[in-house]
């Protein structure tokens, strides 16, 4: 049978309270006693029953998610997933709070984190804005013993415990690998539609995309990046005018949001003139465009997975447990019309 605290107490000749003190690294135990207990723990091969511990502690994990109030489909979906997690969380002694902040606003994010810190939650997940002030704040959170997970957008080099999101460089490289093979034997120009170069994930995708094209497909000519600020109308205009100016555009990589405008521009073209198109995020309009054949491939990050993973990691960190790395890796899903879920 699995050994329990009782077995350890008996074997070490101490009381339950002392076992508990040693188990949880609490002070007030003579080192001789501590050693006796530790000896018993390891010789019996004790592993703590976390569920029982939490029950006894009457512990409810309180976690806060800070999400930008962006109104694009992806962020809406992300907020929905957090809401779903909140609904499920009751059964698992987890209390999730949500805070929304204006997007891309480091000051607002820092202010929100400050507020949350005062509530002393067990953990925080937030969509990072890449700024020194956010890094400094993250450091303070960690010093206060709060588990910190960045969600969707990372803060590399900061003190955060974990990043729940995709590798955007790899996503860009993958898009290039696909595009290069799609256009192999055809040639032509490649257009890139981005949201904003101020966004770290967009920059990283672009970087990955360009580096692979340059290295593996040098014959493909790349047009200057168009920035549509994740705005569908602007995206549509930019794409239409680029297509008008360069009739030899053979491929388009849309690495940001606002795909509805892109799709409209594509639909306006003659079918046989349409370029190969790779876009991000499987929104309902992207899904429709895939089925219709307007978009060839969609790279997707699963918001549900990201939220569940963030939660699992927060819980593990709050318990001081380790995570299963392979399980928490957020993958880049690639969808063609043929493998739509």
What does the binding site for a copy of itself look like in residue numbers (CB under 8 A)? 2, 47-52, 54-55, 88, 90-93, 167, 170-171, 173-174, 176-178, 181-182, 184-186, 208, 212, 276, 296, 302, 304-305, 308, 324, 326-327, 329, 331-334, 336-339, 341
Residue 132 binds which entry of a copy of itself, DNA, none, CB below 5-8 Å type-dependent: none
**According to the binding rule CB under 7 A, does residue 14 interact with DNA?**
yes
Structure tokens at 35: 């050693």
Residue 181 binds which entry of a copy of itself, DNA, none, CB below 5-8 Å type-dependent: a copy of itself
Nearest distance from residue 62's CB to DNA, in Å?
15
Q: How many residues does the chain have?
A: 341
**Residue 13 or 187: which CB sits closer to DNA?**
13
User: What are residue 143's phi and psi, to 5 degrees?
Assistant: -65, -30
Q: Determine the distance from the C-alpha atom of residue 7 to the mean position of all C-alpha atoms in its chain, rounded to a whole number.
A: 43
**According to the binding rule CB under 7 A, does residue 17 interact with DNA?**
yes
**Residue 121 or 256: which CB sits closer to DNA?**
121
**According to the binding rule CB under 7 A, does residue 24 interact with DNA?**
yes
**Residue 23 or 117: which CB sits closer to a copy of itself?**
23
Cα 207 to Cα 173: distance, rounded to the nearest angstrom: 8
Residue 341 binds which entry of a copy of itself, DNA, none, CB below 5-8 Å type-dependent: a copy of itself
> Do 48 and 23 form a contact (C-beta atoms < 8 A)?
yes
Nearest distance from residue 117's CB to a copy of itself, in Å?
25
**According to the binding rule CB under 7 A, does residue 49 interact with DNA?**
yes
Alpha helix (H) residue ranges in 90-191: 106-118, 132-143, 168-183
Cβ neighbours for 70, distance < 8 A, ≥ 6 positions apart: 76, 103, 230
Taking CB under 7 A as the criterion, the residue among 4, 62, 89, 211 binding DNA is 4
Token look-up 């009751």 returns 90
Residue 17 binds which entry of a copy of itself, DNA, none, CB below 5-8 Å type-dependent: DNA
User: What are residue 240's phi and psi, to 5 degrees?
Assistant: -55, -45
Token look-up 């000749």 returns 13
Token look-up 């004790």 returns 46
Binding segment for DNA among 18-26, 129-137, 147-155, 240-248 (CB under 7 A)? 18-26
Residue 121 binds which entry of a copy of itself, DNA, none, CB below 5-8 Å type-dependent: none
Calculate the dihedral angle through the C-alpha atoms of 197, 267, 210, 217, rounding to the nearest 10 degrees: -170
**Residue 153 or 174: which CB sits closer to a copy of itself?**
174
Site map (CB under 7 A) of DNA, residues 29-48, x = contact: xx-xxx-----------x-x
Taking CB under 7 A as the criterion, the residue among 19, 66, 149, 243 binding DNA is 19
User: How would you list the strands of the sheet with 147-151, edge to edge?
Assistant: 94-101, 61-68, 123-126, 147-151, 162-164
> Do 138 and 148 form a contact (C-beta atoms < 8 A)?
yes
**According to the binding rule CB under 7 A, does residue 321 interact with DNA?**
no
Token look-up 């890449």 returns 130
Cβ neighbours for 159, distance < 8 A, ≥ 6 positions apart: 135, 138, 139, 141, 142, 148
Nearest distance from residue 41's CB to a copy of itself, in Å?
15
Residue 4 binds which entry of DNA, a copy of itself, none, CB below 5-8 Å type-dependent: DNA
Nearest distance from residue 5's CB to DNA, in Å?
4
**According to the binding rule CB under 7 A, does residue 326 interact with DNA?**
no
> Do 74 and 303 form a contact (C-beta atoms < 8 A)?
yes
**Residue 203 or 305: which CB sits closer to a copy of itself?**
305
From the number of C-beta atoms within 10 Å of its C-beta (0-12, 13-18, 19+), residue 51 rates as exposed
- Which residues are at the interface with DNA (CB under 7 A)? 1-2, 4-6, 13-21, 23-24, 27-30, 32-34, 46, 48-49, 52-53, 55-58
């Amino acid at each position: 049978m699995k050994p329990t605290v009782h077995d350890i107490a008996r074997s070490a000749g101490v009381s339950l309270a002392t076992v508990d003190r040693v188990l949880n690294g609490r002070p007030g135990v003579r080192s001789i006693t501590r050693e006796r207990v530790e000896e018993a723990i390891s010789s019996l091969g004790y592993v703590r029953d976390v569920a029982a511990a939490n029950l006894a502690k009457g512990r409810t994990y309180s976690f806060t998610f800070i999400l930008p109030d962006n109104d694009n489909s992806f962020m809406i979906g992300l907020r929905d997933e957090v809401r779903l997690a909140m609904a499920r969380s009751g059964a698992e002694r987890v209390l999730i709070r949500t805070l929304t902040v204006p997007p891309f606003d480091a000051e607002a994010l820092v202010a929100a984190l400050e507020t949350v810190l005062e509530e002393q939650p067990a953990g925080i997940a937030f969509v990072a804005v890449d700024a020194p002030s956010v890094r400094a704040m993250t450091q303070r959170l960690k010093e206060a013993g709060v588990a910190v997970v960045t969600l969707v957008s990372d803060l590399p080099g900061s003190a955060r415990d974990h990043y729940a999101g995709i590798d955007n460089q790899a996503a860009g490289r993958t898009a290039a690998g696909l595009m290069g093979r799609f256009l192999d034997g055809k040639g032509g120009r490649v257009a890139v539609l981005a949201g904003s170069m101020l966004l770290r994930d967009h920059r990283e995708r672009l970087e990955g995309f360009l580096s692979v094209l340059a290295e593996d497909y040098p014959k493909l000519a790349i047009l200057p990046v168009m920035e549509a600020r994740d705005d569908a109308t602007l995206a549509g205009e930019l794409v239409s005018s680029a297509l008008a100016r360069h009739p030899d555009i053979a491929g388009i990589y849309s690495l940001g949001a606002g795909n509805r405008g892109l799709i409209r521009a594509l639909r306006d073209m003659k079918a046989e003139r349409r370029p190969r198109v790779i876009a991000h995020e499987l929104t309902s309009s992207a899904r429709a465009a895939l089925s219709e054949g307007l978009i060839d491939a969609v790279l997707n990050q699963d918001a549900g997975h990201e939220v569940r993973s963030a939660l699992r990691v927060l819980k593990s960190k709050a318990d001081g447990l380790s995570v299963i790395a392979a399980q928490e890796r957020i993958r880049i899903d690639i969808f063609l019309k043929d493998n739509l879920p």
